[in-house]
Amino acid sequence: MSKVQPVSVSPFSAVLDGERDAIYAELMSRGPAHPVATMAGVNGWLITGHEEARALLSDPRLVKGGWRNGPYADKLPEDLARGLYSHMLNLNGADHIRLRKLVTTVFTRRRVERLTPRIQEMTDELLSAFDGAESVDLMSALAYPLPIGVISELLGVPEGSREDFRRWTAQIIAPGICTYEEYEDVLHAMLAFARDLVASKRSAPRDDLLSALIAARDGEERLSEDELTSMIFLLVIAGHETTVNLIGNGVYALLRNPDQLALLRDDPALLEPAIEELLRYDGPVQTTLSYVAAEPIEVGDVTINAGKSVVVALQAANRDPVHFPEADQLDLTRLGAVHTAFGHGVHYCVGAPLARVEARIAIDALLDRFPGLRLDADPRTLTRNASMIMNGLSALPVRLR
Summarize pLDDT for 90-107 with one digit per residue, the tens.
999 998 999 898 888 888
Residue 132 phi, psi dihedral angles, 5° rounding:
90, -15
Bridge partners of 311, per DSSP, are 46
pLDDT at 172: 82
In this predicted structure, the answer to whether residue 163 has a pLDDT above a threshold of 90 is no
Distances in Å between the Cα of 3 and the Cα atoms of 190, 298, 332, 354, 395 are: 43, 14, 39, 43, 40
Look at 107-121, 168-182, 281-295, 346-360 and tell me which has the smallest mean pLDDT: 168-182
Percent of the chain with pLDDT over 90: 69
Tell me the three state secondary structure of residue 370.
coil
Rounded-to-integer distance, Cα 199 and Cα 217, Å: 18
Mean pLDDT computed over every residue of the chain: 91
Could you tell me the pLDDT band of residue 371, with boundaries at 50, 70 and 90? very high
> So what's the architecture of 19-399 in CATH?
Orthogonal Bundle (1.10)
**What is the b/e burial string over 32-42, where b = at least 16 CB atoms within 10 angstroms of the residue's CB?**
bbbbbbbbbeb
Could you tell me the pLDDT band of residue 158, with boundaries at 50, 70 and 90? confident
pLDDT at 186: 92
Summarize pLDDT for 297-349 with one digit per residue, the tens.
999 999 999 999 999 999 999 999 999 999 999 999 998 778 999 999 999 99
In this predicted structure, the answer to whether residue 2 has a pLDDT above a threshold of 50 is no
In this predicted structure, the answer to whether residue 235 has a pLDDT above a threshold of 90 is no
In this predicted structure, the answer to whether residue 219 has a pLDDT above a threshold of 70 is no
Cβ–Cβ < 8 Å for 106, 82: no
pLDDT at 9: 72
Q: What is the mean pLDDT of residues 238-251?
A: 92
Residue boundaries of the structural domains of the chain:
19-399
Summarize pLDDT for 25-74 with one digit per residue, the tens.
999 999 999 998 865 667 899 999 999 999 999 999 999 989 988 888 88
